[in-house]
Amino acid sequence: ETGVTQSPTHLIKTRGQQVTLRCSSQSGHNTVSWYQQALGQGPQFIFQYYREEENGRGNFPPRFSGLQFPNYSSELNVNALELDDSALYLCASSLAGPAGNTIYFGEGSWLTVV
Protein backbone atom coordinates (compact mmCIF):
# COMPACT_ATOMS: atom_id res chain seq x y z
CA GLU A 1 0.00 0.00 0.00
CA THR A 2 1.27 3.48 -0.89
CA GLY A 3 -0.66 5.44 1.72
CA VAL A 4 -2.25 7.56 -1.01
CA THR A 5 -6.03 7.28 -0.88
CA GLN A 6 -8.51 8.50 -3.43
CA SER A 7 -12.28 8.85 -3.52
CA PRO A 8 -14.61 7.99 -5.03
CA THR A 9 -13.29 4.87 -6.73
CA HIS A 10 -15.86 4.92 -9.51
CA LEU A 11 -18.41 7.44 -10.68
CA ILE A 12 -20.60 8.21 -13.65
CA LYS A 13 -21.41 11.74 -14.73
CA THR A 14 -23.38 13.31 -17.55
CA ARG A 15 -21.76 15.52 -20.16
CA GLY A 16 -21.77 19.14 -18.98
CA GLN A 17 -21.78 18.28 -15.29
CA GLN A 18 -19.04 19.02 -12.79
CA VAL A 19 -17.03 16.52 -10.74
CA THR A 20 -14.80 16.69 -7.68
CA LEU A 21 -12.25 13.99 -6.93
CA ARG A 22 -10.39 13.76 -3.64
CA CYS A 23 -6.96 12.60 -2.57
CA SER A 24 -5.19 12.12 0.74
CA SER A 25 -1.44 12.05 0.37
CA GLN A 26 0.97 9.74 2.10
CA SER A 27 1.79 10.91 5.61
CA GLY A 28 4.48 13.59 5.51
CA HIS A 29 4.23 14.18 1.77
CA ASN A 30 3.65 17.84 0.98
CA THR A 31 3.37 17.63 -2.79
CA VAL A 32 0.39 16.24 -4.68
CA SER A 33 0.10 15.72 -8.41
CA TRP A 34 -2.85 14.67 -10.53
CA TYR A 35 -2.70 12.57 -13.67
CA GLN A 36 -5.26 11.48 -16.24
CA GLN A 37 -4.93 8.01 -17.70
CA ALA A 38 -7.06 7.14 -20.69
CA LEU A 39 -7.68 3.48 -21.41
CA GLY A 40 -4.60 1.82 -22.89
CA GLN A 41 -2.36 4.84 -22.42
CA GLY A 42 0.17 6.09 -19.92
CA PRO A 43 -0.78 8.69 -17.33
CA GLN A 44 -0.72 12.34 -18.43
CA PHE A 45 0.28 15.07 -16.00
CA ILE A 46 -2.52 17.52 -15.17
CA PHE A 47 -1.00 19.67 -12.42
CA GLN A 48 0.88 19.64 -9.15
CA TYR A 49 0.24 21.36 -5.84
CA TYR A 50 2.83 22.31 -3.25
CA ARG A 51 2.06 24.27 -0.13
CA GLU A 52 -1.48 24.89 -1.33
CA GLU A 53 -0.40 26.50 -4.60
CA GLU A 54 -0.28 25.17 -8.14
CA ASN A 55 3.31 24.32 -8.91
CA GLY A 56 3.25 23.20 -12.52
CA ARG A 57 0.57 22.35 -15.04
CA GLY A 58 0.34 20.09 -18.03
CA ASN A 59 -1.56 20.60 -21.26
CA PHE A 60 -5.06 20.64 -19.79
CA PRO A 61 -7.72 23.39 -20.18
CA PRO A 62 -8.71 25.71 -17.33
CA ARG A 63 -11.86 23.71 -16.62
CA PHE A 64 -9.49 21.33 -14.83
CA SER A 65 -8.71 22.96 -11.50
CA GLY A 66 -7.49 21.89 -8.13
CA LEU A 67 -6.97 22.68 -4.51
CA GLN A 68 -4.55 21.61 -1.83
CA PHE A 69 -5.46 21.94 1.82
CA PRO A 70 -3.24 22.66 4.86
CA ASN A 71 -3.14 18.93 5.66
CA TYR A 72 -1.78 18.38 2.11
CA SER A 73 -4.89 16.60 0.90
CA SER A 74 -6.11 17.69 -2.50
CA GLU A 75 -9.09 17.96 -4.81
CA LEU A 76 -9.36 17.81 -8.57
CA ASN A 77 -12.33 19.62 -10.06
CA VAL A 78 -13.47 19.26 -13.64
CA ASN A 79 -16.18 21.53 -15.01
CA ALA A 80 -18.29 21.16 -18.13
CA LEU A 81 -17.48 17.48 -18.47
CA GLU A 82 -16.89 16.10 -21.94
CA LEU A 83 -17.07 12.51 -23.12
CA ASP A 84 -13.28 12.49 -23.60
CA ASP A 85 -12.83 13.20 -19.90
CA SER A 86 -13.70 9.57 -19.25
CA ALA A 87 -10.53 8.15 -17.73
CA LEU A 88 -8.75 6.97 -14.61
CA TYR A 89 -7.68 9.96 -12.53
CA LEU A 90 -4.60 9.30 -10.45
CA CYS A 91 -3.25 11.20 -7.51
CA ALA A 92 0.43 10.98 -6.64
CA SER A 93 2.24 12.28 -3.61
CA SER A 94 5.85 12.99 -2.86
CA LEU A 95 8.10 15.03 -0.65
CA ALA A 96 9.29 18.22 -2.31
CA GLY A 97 12.99 18.34 -2.92
CA PRO A 98 15.61 17.47 -5.50
CA ALA A 99 14.54 15.12 -8.25
CA GLY A 100 14.71 11.59 -6.99
CA ASN A 101 12.11 11.69 -4.27
CA THR A 102 9.90 8.69 -4.81
CA ILE A 103 6.47 9.47 -6.20
CA TYR A 104 3.66 7.21 -5.01
CA PHE A 105 0.30 6.79 -6.70
CA GLY A 106 -3.13 6.04 -5.36
CA GLU A 107 -5.47 3.48 -6.91
CA GLY A 108 -7.30 6.16 -8.85
CA SER A 109 -10.84 7.30 -9.48
CA TRP A 110 -12.58 5.90 -12.54
CA LEU A 111 -14.70 8.58 -14.18
CA THR A 112 -17.19 7.74 -16.90
CA VAL A 113 -18.90 10.60 -18.73
CA VAL A 114 -22.04 9.67 -20.60
Footprint of other proteins on this chain (CB under 8 A)?
A: 2, 4, 31, 33, 35, 40-45, 48, 50, 55-56, 58, 88, 90, 92, 94, 96, 98-100, 102-108
CB of 110 to other proteins, least distance (A): 8
DSSP letter string over the chain?
--S-EEE-SEEEE-TT--EEEEEEPPTT--EEEEEEE-TTS--EEEEEEETTEEEEE-S--TTEEEEE-TTS-EEEEE-S--GGG-EEEEEEEE--SSTT---EE---EEEEE-
Nearer to other proteins, 14 or 59 (CB): 59
Nearer to other proteins, 17 or 54 (CB): 54
CB of 91 to other proteins, least distance (A): 8
